[in-house]
Amino acid sequence: MLLRKRNSLGKRSFIMRLVFTALACAFLLPCFASAERPNFVLFIADDVSQEDIGCYGNPHIQTPNIDALAGAGLRFDNAYLTTSSCSPSRCSIITGRYPHNTGAPELHTELPAGSVLFPECLKDDGYYTVLSGKHHMGANANAAFSQISRGKGVGKEEDWVGLLRDRPKDQPFFCWFASTDAHRPWGVTANTPNYGPDDVRVPPYLFDGPQTRVDFANYYHEVSRFDFFIGEVVAELRRQEVFDNTYVIVMADNGRPFPRCKTRLYDSGIKTPFVVHDPRRSEPATVDGLISSIDVSATILDLANVEIDERIQGVSFKPILDDTNEVTREVVFAEHNWHVFRNHERLVRFGDWLYIRNQYPEQQNLCVEAYQGGAGVELWDAYRNGKLNSEQMPLFLESCPEEELYHVSKDANQLQNLAANPEQQSVLERTRNALQEWTEQTGDTVPSNPTPDRNARPSLSQNEGEPKPANGKKSNRRTFQHLEMPGDAANATTIHHPGPLRLP
């Protein structure tokens, strides 16, 4: 009798242990899954050139947190954007597609409904996804995120730590943290270094005067503020003990908001800082190989073990993270489309060479940054007064070259156009072929009815005063109508070909 009672109690105890174990597994499995799957934090600066980060060789600017990530991780020296224009660049990054393939290739155009969005692919696979700060991609991009914040503070970074702290702890996470630093107008805060006119480095294509130096000092301040909040986020990741399971990427959407930088296809506009903390690595490295901003999407999905949507044109550079000697592409392409002023330029970058093709050579290649801000105003004043040198004058040409070819390792600022040099005709021909192949494969087109200039172009007459927009004021961008855009004629939004990854 006693034996039967003990057996009965043993059976009930065994069943209870089974039930308890099952409940514990059901409760803990999400935690285990979260711990095993990597997290991602993508920092995107607004209008910052690669050369304005300390770890890229600028001795004057203070970016200790980005430098620390590079010092223990990967610094990509040849990371290129697909366009140097705010909203088209962001739309390209989130879709992993070239601007003319996104349906939003011009400034202030929005992604169409049904666009592929790589954070949405993560979200559908169990990731918690959050965007904070600058959005600029349109309402149809909202589907990619579990939570969206407009950000807080001068640079829209002040809620980043709070969003990390309050995230669901039972899911892996992806954060799209996009500051408004260093976009004009400037804003000063106490948590960021202040710079004086003597603390800056003025590139040779700009006029080195007092207004320009003050302008750069304010710009440096905003770059350092972006860096400060990166440090705050990294500290929070460490506090939560998830830094060692989190990939951190630091980049920008386009170059600094100065003449010949933002919107342009020179390195000052199209070459982005790109620093990666890879939690699997223990040694720092510098990567010379080319990558494109459309590759971010495929790489993050690859690292997360999430299927890469066939519409993504970018390629994963995970092989480079595994072995920095690997090559995932030999060539990158980029675009300059409408950005307040009509334009259609294309870039091919490979090896030591940078090639630009301009479809509107009969006009001045102009951006609003060319005559706004201290540097722009001072540059125009110097032009009116005949004070510019040969490296600064090309900004004021009434027409621009149809083709440009630069040897980037010998000409870091792309000032010596070699397109007419007979010794480089074989390089030129090879580059033309690559561009033609990319144009055909991705459905790029030159609009027959392009979006016109939104503002009046300033006169190039040296006898006139300061350049002013039409009617003395800017036109209303909310009522401005975009017309035919690049890719429309070929229905490029339906084309998913990645274009050449190797030179033909």
Q: pLDDT tens digit string along 199-255?
A: 999 999 999 999 999 999 999 999 999 999 999 999 999 999 999 999 999 999 999
Q: Residue 11 pLDDT > 80, yes or no? A: no
Question: Is the domain of 385 the same as that of 325?
Answer: no
Q: Would residue 336 count as lying in a domain?
A: no
Q: Would residue 16 count as lying in a domain?
A: no
Question: Is the domain of 385 the same as that of 257?
Answer: no
Q: 280, 299, 330 — which closes off a domain?
A: 330
Task: List all residues 6 or more positions away from 135 whose beta carbon is below 8 Å from its beta carbon.
Answer: 141, 148, 150, 178
C-alpha 305/C-alpha 400 separation (Å) is 46
Q: Residue 35 pLDDT > 60, yes or no? A: no
Using the CB atoms, write b or e for 129-154: b if 16+ within 10 Å: bbbbbbbbbbebbeebbbebbebebb
C-alpha 376/C-alpha 243 separation (Å) is 42
Q: 295, 330, 365 — which closes off a domain?
A: 330
Q: Residues 47, 343, 392, CA angle at the centre, nearest 5°?
A: 65
Q: Would residue 504 count as lying in a domain?
A: no
91 and 297 in contact (C-beta within 8 Å)? no
pLDDT, tens digit, for every residue of 159-211? 999 999 999 999 999 999 999 999 999 999 998 999 999 999 999 999 999 99
pLDDT at 474 (0 to 100) = 55
Tokens of 500: 């050449």
pLDDT, tens digit, for every residue of 98-125? 999 999 999 999 999 999 999 999 999 9
Question: Is the domain of 254 the same as that of 105?
Answer: yes
SS3 per residue for 139-171:
HHHHHHCCEEECCCCCCCCCCHHHHHHCCCCCC
* CATH number, domain containing residue 283: 3.40.720.10
> In angstroms, what CA-CA distances link 217 with 42, 309, 376?
26, 43, 15
pLDDT, tens digit, for every residue of 317-375? 999 999 999 999 999 999 999 999 999 999 999 999 999 999 999 998 887 777 778 99
Structural domain count, the chain: 2
Q: Residues 394, 355, 88, CA angle at the centre, nearest 5°?
A: 85
Question: Is the domain of 362 the same as that of 258?
Answer: no
Higher pLDDT, 477 or 298: 298
> Computed over its alpha carbons, how large is the radius of gyration of the chain?
25
pLDDT, tens digit, for every residue of 52-86? 999 999 999 999 999 999 999 999 999 999 999 99
Question: Is the domain of 183 the same as that of 133?
Answer: yes
Q: Would residue 252 count as lying in a domain?
A: yes
Q: Would residue 148 count as lying in a domain?
A: yes
**Host domain of residue 422:** 345-494
Torsion 264-265-268-272 (CA) sign: positive
pLDDT at 25 (0 to 100) = 43
